[in-house]
Amino acid sequence: MTLGRLSDIQRLAWLRLARTETVGPVAFEHLLARFGTPERALSALPDLSRRGGRATPLNIPLRETIERELEAGAAMGARLLCGCEPDFPARLAALDPPPPVLWALGRAELLPRPSVAIVGARIASAGGQRFARQLAAELGEAGHVIVSGMARGVDGAAHEGSMRTGSVAVLGGGIGDIYPPEHASLHARLAVEGCVVSESAPDRRAQAKDFPRRNRIISGLSLGVVVVEAELKSGSLITARLAAEQGRDVFAVPGSPLDPRARGTNDLIRQGAILCEGAEDVLRSLSGQTHLRERDRAYDGEPEADVDFDALRERLAGLLSPTPVSRDELVRATGAPTSAVMAALVELALAERALLLAGGLVAGA
């Protein structure tokens, strides 16, 4: 599909495909690669899921359901950014794979600007919050938009410190899902002075499974991620890992070994994260960073016709396990063309026999 601005009909089909059951970013991209347009992909989905071995009909949203989502977003004053359109943030478009859609409430013009994420503990120390607020303000004065997750603690402090210069909140739920409730006034300010973004439908309530996707967008929008305070098992460390996988800089603020909230950040430094004691550490590192190269998003078309897809699907199903495995490993193990392997994996995912993740694939339930 040619990259460009979508018509209303194309936008509806794009969003409908993105909201289809089991179609995540990986499956979405490969369905477009195979069929060229979301309309043709939607028409092919029922047959693909049956071929993958699905026993019940695939849940494809009704047109009216998607129209209601578009109306809900418009009523809030939000914009829907589709992954093929020129105003979709270039750093997100460079991800492998990018999120298909993004709702943006507020100043969407902040999204393409150079950005730094600041994340950390929800139950943050007063010192940690003060550091995050000051760091956000200084990075903002230096020309960087600050990205965070609107959570309690470090996130809220980072938004407060950067509100005047540019602040973006990425939510796990929809753009209208205010959590925690005490951040209602912060959300209201961000929706006017900054920007609130989400992959989810505008009125969706956040669930636990939404936060890793939210964290991937936080790091994906940013040139680097600063972790201020984090325990060893922390969502902020997931954001840091995703940032490293995406080729972004990871910064960590050191802390006392007596404070559990410093264990995660100190461990990041031990693993090679850049020590951050102030804005100059971040600016120094980012000054030498090369521009992100835009992904080659040319589409391959239909997979090879002479491949025995029934045999390939069963071979792939046997290779999958609860441990994630990369697409490249599966291509090597089967010896089949990449386009054929991805087509078969999408069919397995539609049949709920596999789960396609950004970093790998695992067997389905």
- The pLDDT score that the predictor gives to residue 298 is 42
Percent of the chain with pLDDT over 70: 92
Pairwise CA distance, residues 339 & 112, whole Å: 32
- Beta carbons of 60 and 72 less than 8 angstroms apart: no
Residue in the block written with tokens 């939210």: 214
- The pLDDT score that the predictor gives to residue 301 is 53
**Farthest-apart Cα atoms in the chain, separation:** 64
- The pLDDT score that the predictor gives to residue 291 is 53
List CB contacts of 179: < 8 A, sequence separation 6 or more: 150, 171, 172, 173, 206
Name the least confident of 17-21, 251-255, 337-341: 337-341
pLDDT in tens, 40-67: 999 999 999 988 888 888 899 999 999 9
Q: What is the mean pLDDT of residues 227-253?
A: 95
Pick the most confident of 217-221, 288-292, 341-345. Answer: 217-221
pLDDT in tens, 107-151: 999 999 999 999 999 999 999 999 999 999 999 999 999 999 999
What is residue 336's three-state secondary structure? coil
Q: Is residue 307 scored above 50 in pLDDT?
A: yes
Pairwise CA distance, residues 197 & 283, whole Å: 25
Percent of the chain with pLDDT over 90: 71
Residue 299's pLDDT band (boundaries 50, 70, 90)? Answer: very low
- The pLDDT score that the predictor gives to residue 47 is 92
Tell me the residue type at 262. A
Q: Is residue 296 scored above 50 in pLDDT?
A: no
Q: Is residue 300 scored above 50 in pLDDT?
A: no
pLDDT in tens, 20-40: 998 999 899 999 988 999 999
CA atoms within 13 A on the CB side of 163: 17
- The closest of 365, 348, 332, 310 to 26, measured between CA atoms, is 348
- Beta carbons of 197 and 174 less than 8 angstroms apart: no
- The pLDDT score that the predictor gives to residue 309 is 74
pLDDT in tens, 350-359: 887 777 776 6
- The closest of 87, 224, 93 to 147, measured between CA atoms, is 224
- The pLDDT score that the predictor gives to residue 359 is 63
Pairwise CA distance, residues 145 & 148, whole Å: 10
* Intra-chain end-to-end CA distance of the chain, in Å: 33
Q: What are phi and psi of 9, to 5 degrees?
A: -70, -45
Pick the most confident of 162-176, 295-309, 347-361. Answer: 162-176
Tell me the residue type at 134. Q
- The pLDDT score that the predictor gives to residue 289 is 64
